[in-house]
Amino acid sequence: MELDDNAVNDLVSLGLSGYEARVYPALVRRESYTAAEAARAADVPRQRVYDVLDALVRRRLAVQRPGRVAAISAVAPELALARLMALQRESLERLNATSAALATALLPVWNDGRTHTDPLDYIE
């Protein structure tokens, strides 16, 4: 199955950068890639692919296999997508808590503004 731009866009919407969203599907296609092979397969600049692969490993979407030349393998898609969803849920929970705290802080100020009268309002 060939992945289209929609799959890349969907991965971006799940929190990956554009380059990460292009490299992860490339990694899924084979057991492992070297950094140079991954750059070529994903059409990502070679000088950037090292950072992208490190980011995927940090997010636990890929694993690095030691050897004379380090190889990178993708984590199974169902695990990778579950991790991305968990990260999105955590982010949403943080935003929800921030929103609730901000609403609590702003409500008294807003209420004071509704009842505030300025004597100059009555002068024409």
Q: What is the pLDDT of residue 3?
A: 63
Structural domain for 21, as ranges: 1-117
Query: Encoding tokens for residue 50?
Result: 């090292």
CATH number at residue 29: 1.10.10.10
Asked if 33 and 27 count as a contact pair (C-beta separation under 8 A), the reply is: yes
Q: Is residue 34 part of a domain?
A: yes
Phi-psi region of 68 (alpha: psi -120 to 50; beta: other; left: phi over 0): alpha
Q: What's the domain count of the chain?
A: 1
Location of structure tokens 């799940």: 14
Q: 15 vs 119, which has greater pLDDT?
A: 15
What would the DSSP string read from start to end of 9-46? HHHHHTT--HHHHHHHHHHHTSS-B-HHHHHHHHT--H
52-91 tens-digit pLDDT: 999 999 999 999 988 888 899 999 999 999 999 999 999 9
Q: Is residue 124 part of a domain?
A: no
Q: How far is the C-alpha of 58 from the C-alpha of 28, rounded, in Å?
A: 17
